[in-house]
Amino acid sequence: MKTLLVSIGLLAATALSAFAAEPVKMVDTKMGKIMTTDKGMTLYMFDKDTKGKSNCDAACLKKWPAFHAAATAKAEGEWSLVKAADGKEMWAYSGKPLYTYSGDKKAGDMSGDGVGGVWHVAK
C-alpha cells in the first residue's frame, strides 16, 4: 500500500510539472488588472500587429523591446510564440505580440500607454 501511495504521489508531481505557467503576472493597477513581466514591467500591445505577426521592425524594437520567450518556451492555450524582427521568439496573447517600453524605468511604470495612439497596456 505504501508503494502505491508513493507511486501516485510521484505521478501527480510529474503531471503538475508538465503544465506550463503563464509567462506573465497579472497586477492590479489604477487601470485595472494588467499584464507585466515577472519583474513587474508593464507589457503592451501594438495596434499595427496582426494576429500571429509582429509588425514592429528593428528600429521599433529599440523603443519597444519584444517580450522574448525562453528557448524552452511552449505555446499553450491563449499563449503563442511569434518571431520578432530580431529573429527571436516572443510571447503573444490571443495572437497579439507583447512588448515592454524603453520609457518605463521601474516596475509599475505605464508611460507607454496611448503612445502614438497605437500602443496600449496589455490586459
Instruction: Flag whether 56 is in a domain.
Output: yes
- Which residues fall within 8 angstroms of residue 61, CB to CB, at 6 or more apart? 84, 85, 86
Give the pLDDT mean for 98-104: 98
Number of compact structural domains in the chain: 1
Q: Which domain holds residue 60?
A: 22-121
Instruction: Flag whether 37 is in a domain.
Output: yes
Instruction: Flag whether 3 is in a domain.
Output: no
Instruction: Flag whether 7 is in a domain.
Output: no
Where do we find the cell 508503494?
3
Residues 76-94 pLDDT 10s: 999 999 999 999 999 999 9
Instruction: Flag whether 96 is in a domain.
Output: yes
pLDDT mean across residues, the chain: 87
Instruction: Write the single-letter amino acid at 47.
Output: D
Q: Read off the pTM.
A: 0.83
Question: Rounded to whole angstroms, how far apart are CA atoms 76 and 81?
Answer: 9
Instruction: Flag whether 8 is in a domain.
Output: no
- Which residues fall within 8 angstroms of residue 5, CB to CB, at 6 or more apart? none
Residues 31-80 pLDDT 10s: 999 999 999 999 999 999 999 999 999 999 999 999 999 999 999 999 99
Q: What is the pLDDT of residue 15?
A: 38
Contact at 8 Å (CB) between 82 and 97? yes
Cell of 102: 524603453
Is the pLDDT score of 3 beyond 50? no
Instruction: Flag whether 11 is in a domain.
Output: no
Which of helix, strand or coil describes residue 31?
A: coil
Of residues 83, 91, 24, the one with CA closest to residue 55: 83
Q: What share of the chain in percent tops pLDDT 90?
A: 82
Q: Give backbone dihedrals phi and psi of 66, rounded to 5 degrees, phi first.
A: -65, 145
Instruction: Flag whether 17 is in a domain.
Output: no
Q: What is the pLDDT of residue 20?
A: 55
